[in-house]
Chains A and B, each alone.
Chain A
Amino acid sequence: MQFPILSVIVFIPIVTAVIILLIPQDRKNEVRVTALAGATFALLLSAWAYFSYDIPVGGYQFLEKYTWLPSLGISYQVGIDGMNAPLVLLTGVVMFTGVLISWGIDDRPREFFAFLFILATGVFGVFVALDLFMLFFFYEIAVFPMYLLIAIWGWKETREYAAMKLTLYLFIGSVIALVGALAMYFVSGMGTFDMLALEGAGFSADFQRLWFPFVFFGFAVLGGIFPFHNWSPDGHVAAPTAVSMFHAGVLMKLGAFAALRVGIMLLPEGAKFHLPWIILLSLVNVVYGAYIAMVQSDFKYVIGFSSVSHMGLVAMGFATLTRNGMIGAGVQMFSHGVMTALFFAVVGMIYDQAHTREIPKLGGFRKVMPVVAIAFIIGGLVSMGMPGFSGFIAEFPIFMGVWASHPWIAIVAAISIVITASYIIRIVGRVFFGNLPEEFEHHVHDVTALDKVALVFLSGILIIVGVYPAVMVPLVESGVDKILALLGGV
């Protein structure tokens, strides 16, 4: 029997969480080291799975299937293909760096890491799930720890409000999608939640057109689609640094991925019917999100809205239903995940030192924390879609896809690149260059070595994918081909 690598990846975090909970409360360093060990293990295994995926063979690999509730056709079934392999790797990366960045958490670190790791299990589970019930099961596991993580360790001003808003939004979305999934289950008459089987269920066009919006939007809420994006900037801002990284970096991809996996791939006729107008919503995301980001004065809100804007590009890429658009969206999910994790890490580091995030009050941080400044600039270049960075590899195909299907939308969307450049350059100029305000002179110090490791690691990934796209693009292409086959070769 082959080594059940995906199951091990899914269950490492929760097992680590249980071990952490068993450590006495005051042994904070043991808690941190255990967390780091678990995260490193998960990262290595996800990298192994990613690099040993056999692209020429294609399809779902590392398959495992165990019956779970046979009388209802529920099974535990996992596998990765070109679409979710990068996301599994992304989760490993963000988990690892998130632990490094959270080293300084002093209030109940045991509970913090335990909840964070339960969340990670949920995320891994959704990405590798090939069973519809299992997908929901892990999806909910990924949602509820978020509430506690934000409400307990978040920013005092808004955490209660933001945590509740976020949880309710996401829960509403998921349960509505759940009703849609149950409808699929019963209408298919196949008595199984196996998504590979349901792909061939042959739902009638009317059924697909009716249920597609429920399923798609139910999940896309978590992907931050307009007009249901409202929870996301509030949630990002209120969350503690590692949770913002997880949240914007990984959880939003969860929404986009599930909308793709359940909405577009199981209801392709519905997708073809509805996506042409949904692309307009994603256009609003892209342009309006970028515009709102530009006018914010709070550093973290800028990044929060930039996530809304960049996730709009993912939705737009899917909505083009073209090969290029989908490849771009697939790479963008990974690229944006790493990039935004980097951004939120930087914001957290600056806030920890300066105790403010008001851009006008900051300045000159390049002098005290040069590594952070360089990392942010790299992230900024990714965000603007500069060649040589992963953002270009992701966004260029998306725009090609949009141009091929809706030229005028491509033109409007391109405005967002200019706006993005303006807010990124403004932050770089205001926060990192200029003079360090006097009040910060003495008590602002450079970040710890662990923080630097995390930043170098994240920026390194962004450059590698940008300089050597072959490390990711062919893989995503193989996944997209399958989706296009389901869509009937659009």
Chain B
Amino acid sequence: MFTGGFDPVNILAILPEISLIVLGLLILGLDLALPEERRGILGWVTAGGLVLIIGLALAISRPGSEPILLWGGMLRHDWLGFAFKIVFLFAAAITALFSMDLFDSGRRGEYFLLLLAATLGMNLMASAADLIMLYLAIETTSIPLYILAGFLTKDDKSTESGFKYFLFGAFTSAVMLYGFSLLYGFGGTTNLYGLSQAFLEGGLSIGAILGSLLLILVGFGFKVSAVPFHFWAPDVYEGSPTPIAGFLSTASKAAGFAVLARVMLAVFPSIAVEWGAIVAALATATMTIGNIIALAQKNIKRLLAYSSIAHAGYALIGIVAISYLGVASTVFYLIAYVITNLLAFGIVALFGRVAGSDDIAAYAGMSRRSPWLALGMMVALLSLSGMPPFGGFVVKFAVFAAAIQAGMVWLAFIGVINSIVALYYYLTILKYVYLYRSEDEDKPLPVSRPYAIGLTVLSLLVILIGTVFAPWFSVASSAAAAIFR
């Protein structure tokens, strides 16, 4: 099952994780060493360090075309994990940039440390190949995120959101852990690929496997905020610091999908038809309920929360297709979604800080206050609604294509109808941004340097994904190849 002796690839493969720990220690050291007024650079160090780690990972830790199991079968070094790792590191770098202006200076060190710890957990989630590793990784991700969500201790909404997130998370993770233990009991191993073998060899009742799968789905559904495990998302996003809400809705969700794709497709091919039907139902409910409730929202963070629920539904379509194209399209979808949603939350964070409100009505007159910021908002919202030449179009195209290839034309139609509903509420926001006037429209909307950098990079990436899609799609295809070889 795993390689005997020591192979340097063991270290190379987890170089990003090691570097994350080093970076975290560096932040902690700087936090102690620097005088309080100079701790403003911690955000730059975090973001810069993460960018360095991305460069390092791309240069050294790229997996080969053949996946390998490392560290006694705990991790699997493949493109599926690697592609997601880069996405997480990137999202964390952007979140660090967006967080820089948010807090009173004394408390920044642990904030960035927690962010890095959560990122470390996500990286391990994406490559975990063992139930124990997987569970530890999920908890390593979740616990820092609970704290981050409640980080604004003077703000009741933030503490409430942290606590709510914690209760929901603890509950679902307990259910999921129960599912894991059942799987171990049935399969006799904790290794995901070993379990798959055991189930394929047969002798186990479908009901037993399906039952434990349902328990696991509770945990995964919570992570990706799929209906009916989505209730936490709007409250938590609304209360937590906006950059963290952005991080939760992008990297944390993508991490959930990485695990979902790997576990469902690698462990349960023997009952693919059954879970395919269940996940198809989840996808339908997630898209529809997310979009319909989003229609009624007045607060932009809540609206984006429901829209991100709906987007989980679209991404699930690719999983339901249970095909090479399906997984590729889900990964592709998530890459574009993460970048787009970070852009949307970045603008919301900036605007909310300056304008002091997250009401959609407060966005009136935005294009007169700052035409470029309004343009960025338009790029984000149109990409979320699936309009070219932005990333959202081609990735929606890909997931619908996967559904039709799998013979599920009905699911494609549900997705299509949902994207029309979504277009309505995205356009409504644009109406405020561009059309309505407000008394505040003469007030400037200053964009600080970290935001300017982050938002520009994200906007350009959204357009780049939407126009030059071949390189992104080939990464997504390599990730799919790690499952379907």
Interface residue ranges, A against B (CB under 8 Å): 21, 25, 67-72, 108, 110-111, 133, 136-138, 140-141, 143-144, 147-148, 151-152, 160, 164, 167-168, 171-172, 175-176, 178-179, 182-183, 185-186
A152:B434 contact, CB within 8 angstroms: yes
A168:B424 contact, CB within 8 angstroms: yes
Q: Find A160's partner among B419, B420, B431 (CB 8 Å cutoff).
A: B431
A-B contact count (CB 8 A): 89
CA distance A108 to B416 in the complex (A): 34
B473:A71 contact, CB within 8 angstroms: yes
B473:A72 contact, CB within 8 angstroms: yes
Q: Within the complex, what minimum Cβ distance (angstroms) separates B362 from chain A? A: 19
Chain A neighbourhood of B474, CB < 8 A = 71
CA distance A171 to B375 in the complex (A): 21
CA distance A152 to B393 in the complex (A): 24
Chain B neighbourhood of A147, CB < 8 A = 427, 430
Chain A neighbourhood of B431, CB < 8 A = 151, 160
Chain B neighbourhood of A141, CB < 8 A = 387-389
Chain B neighbourhood of A140, CB < 8 A = 387-388, 393
Question: Would you call B413 an interface residue if the criterion is a C-beta within 8 Å of the partner chain's C-beta atoms?
Answer: yes
Q: Within the complex, what minimum Cβ distance (angstroms) separates B311 from chain A? A: 16
Question: Would you call B412 an interface residue if the criterion is a C-beta within 8 Å of the partner chain's C-beta atoms?
Answer: yes
Question: Would you call B484 an interface residue if the criterion is a C-beta within 8 Å of the partner chain's C-beta atoms?
Answer: no
Which residue on chain B has the smallest CB distance to residue A148? Answer: B434
Which residue on chain A has the smallest CB distance to residue B434? Answer: A152
Complex interface: stretch among B202-210, B272-280, B289-297, B401-409: B401-409
Q: Within the complex, what minimum Cβ distance (angstroms) separates A209 from chain B? A: 16
A25:B412 contact, CB within 8 angstroms: no
Q: Find B416's partner among A72, A152, A175, A183 (CB 8 Å cutoff).
A: A175
Chain B 467-480 interface mask (CB, 8 Å, partner A; 1/0) = 00110011001000
Residues of B in contact with A, size category: 35 or more
Known: A133-B397, A148-B434. A167 touches B473 (CB 8 A): no
Chain A neighbourhood of B427, CB < 8 A = 147, 164, 167
Known: A111-B371, A140-B388, A152-B434. A167 touches B423 (CB 8 A): yes
A160:B435 contact, CB within 8 angstroms: yes
CA distance A416 to B162 in the complex (A): 68
Which residue on chain B has the smallest CB distance to residue A147? Answer: B427
Q: Tell me what chain B mostly uses at the interface: helix, strand, loop, or mixed.
A: helix
Chain A neighbourhood of B393, CB < 8 A = 137, 140
Q: Within the complex, what minimum Cβ distance (angstroms) separates B272 from chain A? A: 20
A72:B420 contact, CB within 8 angstroms: no
CA distance A318 to B398 in the complex (A): 32
Known: A148-B430, A151-B435. A70 touches B470 (CB 8 A): yes
Q: 8 Å CB contacts to A: which residues of B380-396?
A: 382, 387-389, 393-394
Question: Would you call B284 an interface residue if the criterion is a C-beta within 8 Å of the partner chain's C-beta atoms?
Answer: no
Chain A neighbourhood of B401, CB < 8 A = 72, 182, 185-186
A152:B400 contact, CB within 8 angstroms: no
Chain A neighbourhood of B172, CB < 8 A = none
Nearest first, the 5 closest Cβ-Cβ pairs linking A and B are A175-B416, A182-B404, A137-B388, A144-B387, A140-B388
B397:A171 contact, CB within 8 angstroms: no
CA distance A126 to B25 in the complex (A): 55
CA distance A179 to B419 in the complex (A): 13
Chain B neighbourhood of A108, CB < 8 A = 367-368, 371
Chain A neighbourhood of B435, CB < 8 A = 151-152, 160
CA distance A71 to B412 in the complex (A): 21
CA distance A269 to B427 in the complex (A): 39
Q: Within the complex, what minimum Cβ distance (angstroms) separates A180 from chain B? A: 10
CA distance A179 to B411 in the complex (A): 11
A178:B473 contact, CB within 8 angstroms: no
Which of A140, A141, A167 has the most C-beta atoms of chain B within 10 angstroms of its own C-beta? A140
Chain A neighbourhood of B412, CB < 8 A = 179, 182
Chain A neighbourhood of B389, CB < 8 A = 137, 141
Q: Within the complex, what minimum Cβ distance (angstroms) separates A75 from chain B? A: 11
CA distance A178 to B388 in the complex (A): 14
